[in-house]
Amino acid sequence: MSRASDLAAARAAVVGGTHVGSVLAGAAPDAISIASVASVGQGILQQLEGAGPVLQPLLEDPAVTDVLVNGAEGVWVDRGGGLELIAHEADELRDPLEVRRLAVRLAATCGQRLDDASPIVDGTFPSGVRLHAVLPPLAAEGTLISLRTQRSVALTLDDLVASGTATESMAAIVSAMISRRANVMISGATGSGKTTLLSALLGLVPSAERIVVIEESAELRPTHPHCVHLQVRHANVQGAGEVSMSDLVRAAMRMRPDRLVLGECRGAEVRDVLAALNTGHEGGWATIHANTASDVPARLVALGALAGMSEPTVAAQASAALDAVIHIKRTAGGRRIDHVATLTRDGARLVPVPAVFMRDGMTVPGQGWDRLSDRLGLARDLL
């Protein structure tokens, strides 16, 4: 094969590799050497395996939790203090067609299809980074790409205390939830730190216990020697092959779990989770989207309705199954545990009872503190 043929093959091998192509195109065949190929090697890897020369370094930054591409209008990142617009010179993120091509390539890397027939995609990279992308015309500003990073090293509860997420007394309370095998939900908004907090707490589970984690995509990576993950499988383009969260909850029950963990409660699987926690599976954990712990009952009722459960049934199941709800929120100073509540029944209604608040760096007891402290074996005068 001639050197010219080698050059053409190199160009063809890099799908969308405009940077590499431009570099090689400007060189005479005789000028191509190992050194010149090595000089663009990083660009090749970023084009073929990563998210490109702009996005990939952001995803590798340990401070970054989210990277958002709003068509050709800009790239935003969250380093824990809120979203900020970043400046870049990459032509591929200024051209709407190139942004679309990037989204399609990222989806393919996740093993997903993204085109006009399937314009919305969710996927997970082998590294654990989560992808969500939407094509126009569904996305009015152009192709939208949302990337959620995953920490390579889970934070510990001590780390969260040091960062102000929890006080020493709050850390003692949530640690007791693990040691006393309480069934707990962590509530909060998107990006509030629910997954980070849950990962830290699961790291406190005794090493002799088996943790089975059920998630839409594997995000929870606690520092624990016996933690296994089940992930949902979406239907293929023919609408077949789906494995739902409910399917996985039922499967997990047969896997001898010491701790059953649901990464996010967001659908009809709430019926199976509450049933599991009411049949001897203590020490279970789940996260749920809610503005406050007081909103969790309404969320549970809404999710239960998807599974055909009435409000009285949800109230009876949840009040018997759940010992506490921890609410975490994002503030100007960072993420913090805001309050903890217990759940009780008032007739057919599920009612939250505030038990602990974090105010100005202090942990303050609420109406439900006596009940919670008794369940956790803590002294009532701890606070």
* Residue that is last in its domain, among 115, 148, 181: 148
CA Rg value for the chain: 24
The answer to whether residue 128 scores a pLDDT higher than 60 is yes
The whole-number average pLDDT for the span 5-32 is 43
The whole-number average pLDDT for the span 201-213 is 96
136 and 272 both lie in a single domain: no
d(CA 277, CA 374): 20
d(CA 85, CA 133): 19
161 and 220 both lie in a single domain: yes
| Number of domains composing the chain | 3
* Residue that is last in its domain, among 119, 148, 177: 148
161 and 12 both lie in a single domain: no
215 and 342 both lie in a single domain: yes
By CB atoms closer than 10 A (0-12, 13-18, 19+), residue 18 is middle
Instruction: Calculate the dihedral angle through the C-alpha atoms of 187, 192, 193, 195, rounding to the nearest 10 degrees.
Output: 50
Q: Is 173 inside any structural domain?
A: yes
pLDDT band for 45, please (50, 70, 90 cuts): very low
132 and 182 both lie in a single domain: no
Residues of the chain with pLDDT > 70, as a percent, come to 85
pLDDT band for 152, please (50, 70, 90 cuts): low
CATH code, domain carrying 174: 3.40.50.300
What's residue 44's pLDDT? Answer: 41
CATH code, domain carrying 99: 3.30.450.370
The whole-number average pLDDT for the span 174-179 is 97
pLDDT band for 237, please (50, 70, 90 cuts): low
135 and 250 both lie in a single domain: no
Q: Is 48 inside any structural domain?
A: no
* Residue that is last in its domain, among 130, 148, 166: 148
State phi, psi for 315 to the nearest 5 degrees.
-60, -45
Q: Is 301 inside any structural domain?
A: yes
93 and 241 both lie in a single domain: no
Q: Is 51 inside any structural domain?
A: no
- pLDDT single digits (tens) 186-199: 999 988 889 999 99
State phi, psi for 229 to the nearest 5 degrees.
-120, 140
H/E stretch holding 3: helix 3-13
195 and 332 both lie in a single domain: yes
121 and 98 both lie in a single domain: yes
Q: Is 241 inside any structural domain?
A: yes
Q: Is 49 inside any structural domain?
A: no
d(CA 7, CA 125): 30
pLDDT band for 146, please (50, 70, 90 cuts): very high
Q: Is 50 inside any structural domain?
A: no
pLDDT band for 7, please (50, 70, 90 cuts): very low
Range of 22's domain? 3-43
Instruction: Give counts: helices (H), strands (E), the chain.
Output: 14, 15
Peptide bond into 137 cis (omega under 30): yes
- pLDDT single digits (tens) 47-83: 445 678 889 899 888 888 899 999 988 899 998 778 8
211 and 269 both lie in a single domain: yes
Is pTM, for the whole model, over 0.95? no
* Average model confidence (pLDDT) across the chain: 85
- pLDDT single digits (tens) 276-313: 999 888 999 999 999 999 999 999 999 999 999 999 99
Q: Is 206 inside any structural domain?
A: yes
273 and 362 both lie in a single domain: yes
353 and 230 both lie in a single domain: yes
The answer to whether residue 333 scores a pLDDT higher than 50 is yes
